Chain A
Amino acid sequence: MTAKHRSWLGMALIGTALALAPIVVGASLGNAWVRVLDFAALYIMLALGLNIVVGFAGLLDLGYIAFYAVGAYLYALLASPHFGIHWPVWAVLPLGALVAGIFGVLLGAPTLRLRGDYLAIVTLGFGEIIRIFLNNLNTPVNITNGPKGIARIDAISLFGQPLSKSVDFLGITFSGVMLYYYLFVVLALGIVFVGIRLQDSRIGRAWVAIREDEVAAKACGINTRNVKLLAFAMGATFGGVSGGLFAGFQEFVSPESFGLMESIMVLCMVVLGGMGHIPGVILGGLMLTVLPEAFRHGAGPMQQAVFGKVLLDPEALRMLLFGLALIAVMLYRPAGLWPEPRHRRELAK
């Protein structure tokens, strides 16, 4: 078998596993867990978008969730009874991507001269500003409906089929969460593909060059301002798409979903997985969505079994362990759980 055959075989296996996953998970663990997989796919898309900004270009963005919010609210406003507008998903998603991309450039432009830590704080500020506006733009004109959020958003529907309703196919009943799963996985694969192609290109190399040494990158003729803005725009675009999907999937958005903690969560997926390494980032996204969920389900009953009662609030315990895990992973694997091979080689020495 040649290397090419082997890689085709690998892809076929991964494809089959991805296709069967919701059926198996749905049958064994129930639809709630398929829903977790849906969220995992959404977060992986977000993390891959942030990976372009943080992992490739080395720009520490702590307000990334703002672009997710922009995509989500745009979808909510253009496909819900709030304004009585009901645009179809194929119109809203690309628009969401575009608008989020523009926001990426607008928010990125003023921060370009800043060094790492400062950039982090300013982007964090931008993220909070967007959230505060979402919270308060219900007066004097009601645009965002304030803290109450926007409800009854149209479900995503493809080819006349709303993904929220189940479909029978080949004798299997595909529930709404399964249909969403397939859509999200296809789009996530698309984003993986774009990420891989970008990484191994003139633009991708320019991003990494800026991350490695900005002055030298300039001296090589890279227009660092434009190339950084491009990273912000690309990352934001992915965020906008994920946001639109999130709004259509949840059929509800509110400012609460777009707090700093969400930005941090996505950043942790990137850093814990392995910055700049796409498989690592996917692993990070998957772990940080599935493990806390498993913990949420398991912690209460487990305490019940061991101590006879629930001693610690499972939610607090989950966050506590999350915090400790962040510290532990960084102390023992500062380059992440699955870093780029060339970094790994370095660590092995």
Chain B
Amino acid sequence: MTVLLEARGVTKHFGGVQALKEVSLTIRQGEIYGLIGPNGAGKTTFFNVLTGLYPRDGGEISFGGETLRLASPHEVAKAGIARTFQNIRLFANMTARENVMVGRHVRTRAGVVGAVFRDRRTRDEEAALRRRADELLRYVGIEHRADDVARHLAYGDQRRLEIARALATDPKLLALDEPAAGMNATETASLKSLIEGLRADGLTVLLIEHDVRLVMGLCDRVAVLDYGEKIAEDVPISVQRNPKVIEAYLGGSA
């Protein structure tokens, strides 16, 4: 299988705190890759470094065969990494459709002149954009809420909308930060089938998740972070039996 993303020795510290210690991992094309670990292990920090929200202090990341420089978030999005947030971050006063349309910003081009004069190309682009947004809303199953303001959506629908918005950037890698957080069993089950569908459609998924059953049932491979260090990376079944992982989880909760 081809490698899609390779991180080598990624390091990040906040003041004196070492949040990520030389983290290296490889994500292969088309797999669902889980990133787990106790609270404060550095999972979200890794996401933020990967997507350019935090500048990294060391290490390299290559994506799709090319080195990802110390990029800003919009360049990362352009390169093909899209993400969602642990504590859902939608554009609360925009409609669901508008949220998805914003997600497509990086793949569209219209500027001020086009906006004012509405030339043919702008109109076409706008129409295609709307169609694509509606498609994506249908794909995640909330097309009936397209014209509702995001903050009026139910919690589970907000999660779905955030995924649709991320998909609108045409990503090669979709990074989901605890998508099942706060969901009940039914919602989690349907989320699971949504993510499986994404993989079936050829997308690579990076998943941070606390729900161990979801991770084990969904992921092809799993990496475990503890105190900013990667302590394991393997198929779920082996990771589950890895003494270091058991130690980290028991030590963390004790």
Contact = CB atoms under 8 A, between A and B. Distances in A.
Contacts of B141: none
A202 B74 contact: no
B89 interface: yes
B95 to A, nearest CB: 8
Given A209-B94, A222-B105, A202 B116 contact: no
B91 A213 contact: yes
Contacts of B91: 208-209, 212-213, 216-217
Please classify how large the interface on chain A is, using the bins under 10, 10 to 19, 20 to 34, 35 or more: 20 to 34
Interface in B93-112: 93-95, 98, 101-103, 105-112
B85 interface: yes
A278 interface: no
Contacts of B74: 218, 221-224
Interface stretch (A120-128, A137-145, A193-201): A193-201
Please classify how large the interface on chain B is, using the bins under 10, 10 to 19, 20 to 34, 35 or more: 35 or more
B105 A202 contact: yes
B72 interface: yes
Given A219-B77, A220-B165, A222-B105, A203 B94 contact: no
Contacts of A224: 74
B102 A220 contact: yes
Contacts of A213: 89-92
B115 A220 contact: no
A78 interface: no
Contacts of A148: none
A198 B106 contact: no
A211 B90 CA distance: 11
Contacts of A96: none
B53 interface: yes
B16 to A, nearest CB: 24
B114 interface: yes
A268 B214 CA distance: 52
Interface string B50-94: 011100000000000000000011100110001101000111111
A50 B111 CA distance: 20
A271 to B, nearest CB: 16
Nearest to A221: B106
Contacts of A230: 112
Contact of B85 (A202, A216, A221): A216
A194 B112 CA distance: 9
A198 to B, nearest CB: 5
Interface of B: 51-53, 72-74, 77-78, 82-83, 85, 89-95, 98, 101-103, 105-112, 114-116, 118, 122, 125-126, 129, 149, 165-166, 168-169
Interface of A: 193-194, 197-198, 201-206, 208-209, 212-213, 215-224, 230, 234, 342-343, 345-346
Given A201-B114, A212-B90, 11 more contacts: A201-B122, A205-B102, A212-B94, A215-B89, A216-B85, A216-B89, A218-B72, A219-B53, A220-B105, A220-B169, A222-B106
17 contacts: A197-B115, A202-B111, A202-B125, A203-B111, A203-B115, A205-B94, A208-B91, A212-B91, A216-B90, A217-B102, A218-B77, A219-B51, A219-B83, A219-B166, A221-B73, A222-B105, A342-B95
Going nearest first, the 7 A-B pairs with the smallest beta carbon separation are: A221-B106, A221-B77, A201-B115, A218-B73, A212-B91, A216-B89, A209-B102
